[in-house]
Structure 1
Amino acid sequence: MGGDHTISYPILQAISGFRVVGAEECWHKSLTPLMKEVREQMGDGPVYISFDIDAIDPGFCPGTGTPEMGGLTPIQALEIVRGCRGLNIVGCDVVEVSPPYDFEGTTALQGAHLLFEMLCVLPGVQYSR
């Protein structure tokens, strides 16, 4: 939680390929179909979810050292994490939350909620919303 992408051991264990999807491919649409493709691509292989909070537009999450305009909405972030249900998740993290820049606490709240959502999609966890 917090920090940067130096949490590497479980990530290295989970390497089963990757695909880069540019933010502009996500604008103005649901990401549910994309996550269906991801589940098909990953199959039963081990998956490590690493969510960089600066992927969310700074209008929603300003508390990061590297804000990026044109990012995801919080709803799209939830679609991504919830879309991971059914994958063989071996670990997860949320990184790049920077409290000194998080003057209203909204970024920390979003990061904490994303971690909660990640726990809910771990294999064997039964949680209904």
Structure 2
Amino acid sequence: MPLPPIDHADALPEVRAVYDDIKATRHVPDVNNFWKVLAHHPATLKRTWESLKEVMAPGALDPAVKEMIYLAVSVTNNCTYCIRSHEAAARRAGMTDAQFGELMAVVAMANETNRLANGYQVELDPQLR
């Protein structure tokens, strides 16, 4: 049975602090259920948020690209929650329907060719070593 989400009012002080940081960083009125379930283990909640905040912060990659990469990996890992969350974030960052379509085509092709290369146990070409 899944753990129930922990709302702000019912959270431990250290969990509330993480929730408050998420809300301030993302400019949202509440945290989503992913964080509310992780709150059952405050150390995991804090560690995961700190890592995600660092990785997804502005950097050499455009925010939309980061979200599209996250979306692609989530599709490959079959994580419905992450697919919906990061598709929404990618769209907020500017991903268009056409970009989504191309992204899904690339994900599908990469998965197919990865499986073929693994299944056939294709040796690396000398120039790729």
As a proportion of its length, which structure holds more strand? Answer: 1
- The answer to whether TM tops 0.5 is no
- The interval holding the TM-score normalised by the smaller chain is under 0.3
Highest relative contact order (Cα 8 Å, sep 6+), 1 or 2? 1
TM-score computed with the length of structure 2 as normaliser: 0.27
Specify the structure having the higher radius of gyration (Cα): 2
TM-score computed with the length of structure 1 as normaliser: 0.27
